[in-house]
Amino acid sequence: MIPNDTIDKLAMCFASLSELGQQLSEAQWKLPTECPGWTVQDNLSHIVAFERVLNGHPATTHQARGFDYIKNPIGASNENEIDARRHFSGAEVLNEWNETAAERLATLRCADEAYYSTEMMTPTGPGTIADLLHIRVLDCWVHEQDMRRTVGITGHLSGPAAEHTIDRLIRTIPIVVGKRASTPDGQSVVIDITTDPVLGGVRRHIICTVVNGRAALVDIEPEAPLCRLTMDTQTFLTLATGRRGAEQITNSIEYAGDLNHGNKIVASMNMMI
């Protein structure tokens, strides 16, 4: 099956990144973001490089010097591509992005079912190109929001790509609640993600219950969950992606029930590799 819905979401991300880039000054491109060691420009360079390689272009041969924020081989590969573009202006990276985005979308729109069923290794394990595209929507949207927070230009916090990403992150909540926070058997944790009347967001009501030692997302909320956390979409996103720690956003979260356990949940919410 051709994943047209996923392609459409990716196209939305591509267009929004281009629109954001058009608004930035050179000084804004060079501002540091919450991704360790990365500027606004570096975030877009990362996406440029990934999409170029997916479209058949060779990876850079450049080798970046060691940085203490690189934690794994994927991070090292990312850094090589980013460092190879650090001497570019923001406008030059944006131009490369616009060309890359157009080429990549042309490929995706013309590809057949065999292309999308091609097996490959994805950041989450073995999968297909269709599976990878599902992850690409998340990656593009998350980095777009990283860029937007840094330059103070809000946007694209709602809509299909935003919902897609938040829902993918929510998949990891059972690991957070059960394994990391050691929620007692039979207890439930509720997380309410709210929207802003002006900025938008993705509203979600998440119930996670531990039964026989295993946490799972459920539809029915108990009368008295162990704890409830309420936060806006941006707060959930920065926690779930490890951009901000619990100590940085504690005032942005409303706690109810067991405060200590609520703090354990918040401290365990980084879901990114």
Domain ranges in the chain?
4-154, 166-267
**How does pLDDT run across 158-176, given as a tens digit for each residue?**
999 999 999 999 999 999 9
DSSP string covering 222-269, please? PSS-SEEEEEEHHHHHHHHTTSS-HHHHGGG-EEEE-HHHHHHHHHT-
Which residues, 6+ apart, have CB-to-CB distance to 89 below 8 Å?
26, 29
**How does pLDDT run across 121-147, given as a tens digit for each residue?**
998 899 999 999 999 999 999 999 999
Beta bridge partners of 189: 208, 227
Share of the chain above pLDDT 90, in %: 89
Q: Alpha-carbon distance 229 to 167, whole Å? A: 17
- Residue 176: C-alpha distances to residues 49, 207, 224, 270, 272 (Å): 31, 12, 20, 9, 12
Report the CATH superfamily, name and number, of domain 166-267: SCP2 sterol-binding domain (3.30.1050.10)
Residue 31 has pLDDT above 70, yes or no: yes
pLDDT at 273: 57
pTM: 0.95
Average pLDDT over residues 18-47: 97
pLDDT at 213: 93
**How does pLDDT run across 57-74, given as a tens digit for each residue?**
999 999 888 777 777 777
Q: Which CATH architecture has domain 4-154?
A: Up-down Bundle (1.20)
Q: Alpha-carbon distance 167 to 227, whole Å? A: 21
